[in-house]
Amino acid sequence: MKWLSKLFKSGSGGRRGGYNPQFVGEENMVVRAPVRMPDDRPRTKKEQEELDHAIALSLSDGMRKPNGYNEGRKGGNYSGALPRGADNGSLNPSTYPPYGTLPYHPAGYREEGLEPKPLLVHSMLTYMLMPMTCRVCAGCHREIGYGNYLGCMGAYFHPNCFRCHSCGYPITEHEFSLSGRDPYHKTCFKELTHPKCDVCLQFIPTNAAGLIEYRCHPFWSQKYCPSHEHDNTARCCSCERLESWNLRYYSLEDGRSLCLECMESAIMDTGDCQPLYHAIRDYYEGMNMKLDQQIPMLLVERQALNEAIVGEKNGYHHMPETRGLCLSEEQTVTSILKRPRIGGRHLFGIRTQPQKLTRKCEVTAILVLYGLPRLLTGAILAHELMHGWLRLKGYRNLNPEVEEGICQVLSYMWLESEVLPGSSSRASTSAASSSSSSSKKAGKSNVENKLGEFFIHQIAHDASPAYGGGFRAANAAVNKYGLRRTLDHIRLTGNFPL
């Protein structure tokens, strides 16, 4: 019994039944086992008395929170409603604050390196054995009683009741994220709030300022890392979306790329395009704008179209890439005779033939880039046919804003008649044309209709002075005065009516 006398003092001045446990070294904790006292009281009652006394000591000088105790630590609530940067519909960068995390320390943990530290005996009693009948777990709403508990956010929890608001599993890590009053695992919170790139499918990295910076398409809302604009990631030549790493695009022989959705309705050769071309001529006729001349129409590759532009004296061409052309000069043009074959994700084996175009009227031919979806091909044809109609009707020397603007209005009107429910031409008087248009609307898929809405959006939000500014001025005039009166005013003045 000599070892007990070294650890615990007892004498006439000491309290009866009291004990003062001490440390032997920093990490070894010694708790004296209860012994029978000479008053012959039952052992269990004596144990209870000693335990009650230990609790009293804990309450008097040991219930201070350790340095690492995390209670109601405040943090940002990043719920995904991120501030947008200035953007006028273009692919401008947007910057966002990154998600926030809060350190989480279970009771008894200290700040230094988040490593567990040894507890004092009275702290151990508070953490492990202290009766908590007056405290209720904020998770299960039951009394905590004896055993482990956590103090966090101004409340107490059983360790198994402190759970992630997203996945529902207990939070056992030393750090957690907080949104309002809801705790999350750091990884779960990042999955919920940190945007992922729609191209590489990874979390978008932060920039040098610590902000999340990405590009976002104004129509499709496709988010992607800024680096993908310069790393040769393929972009669909029709809908402008970037190729995702898990969904590859088709490659055309002239170097363009085509997404799977645009590929579904793509027109690949001149023969396939003839029914659409005649339908758009009928659309013009239904608006009392019949084209008296039979104007040849050819589908061509990008190189052939660029060569034809070089030989063309008239016209204003939309850069960086022109997709249609109304020719007025005699040229020899290589057209698509037979559609290409599909091998994997490549289209090859296209058959072409040179065709000499002679000038029989003010318009020699209409050329359109091959491999575009039906609605985009039709919109280009409607635009180029309006150029042809203006030349055949004697509209001369119009400035680019006026000529391209009114041509864009016809393209826009045709797309509306094909895509938007209940829409009809603002100038059409043909019931047959309206019936035909309605039947075509019913036959298109949701994917094709969405593409049509994008092409309408593209015309309305074009930033160029001739195509964008010209369209908005022309469309305002047509909406106010009607198409026929607007065209008459252009013939007389060369400008739109105000």
Q: What is the 3-state secondary structure (H, E, C) of 86-100?
A: CCCCCCCCEEECCCC
3-state secondary structure of 203: strand
Sign of CA dihedral 267, 273, 275, 281: positive
Structure tokens at 69: 């105790």
Residues 6+ apart with CB under 8 A from 492: none
pLDDT at residue 276, as a whole number: 97
Q: Which residue has the tokens 């609605």?
A: 375
Judge if pTM exceeds 0.85.
Answer: no
Please answer whether residues 276 and 378 qualify as being in contact, where contact means their C-beta atoms are separated by less than 8 angstroms: yes
Give the residues across from 29 on adjacent strands. 23
Q: For residues 128 and 285, give the distance between their C-alpha atoms in angstroms, rounded to a whole number.
A: 89
Q: What is the number of other CB atoms lying within 10 angstroms of the CB of residue 203?
A: 16
Residue type, 370: Y
CA dihedral 326, 328, 332, 338 (to 10 degrees): 30
Distances (CA, A) of 364 to 117, 131, 189, 271, 358: 88, 96, 62, 19, 6
Number of CB atoms found within 10 A of residue 480's CB = 12
**Does residue 129 sit in helix, strand or coil?**
helix
- DSSP E strands, 294-360: 297-300, 324-327, 331-338, 341-343, 346-348, 351-357
The pLDDT tens digits along the chain (498 residues) read 443 343 333 444 444 344 333 333 333 232 333 333 444 444 455 555 554 544 444 444 434 444 433 333 333 333 333 333 333 333 333 333 333 333 333 333 233 322 233 322 222 223 334 454 578 898 999 888 877 888 888 888 888 999 999 999 999 888 889 888 889 999 999 888 889 999 999 999 989 988 989 999 999 999 999 999 999 999 999 999 999 999 899 999 889 999 999 999 999 999 999 999 999 999 999 999 998 888 999 999 999 998 888 877 665 655 557 899 999 888 889 888 888 888 878 887 888 888 888 888 889 999 999 999 999 999 999 999 999 999 999 998 899 999 999 999 999 999 999 998 766 545 443 333 443 444 444 467 899 999 999 999 999 999 999 999 999 999 999 999 999 999 999 999 999 998
Is 195 within 8 Å of 223 (Cβ atoms)? yes
Structure tokens at 56: 């009293």
What count of Cα atoms within 13 Å lies in the side-chain half-sphere of residue 301? 20
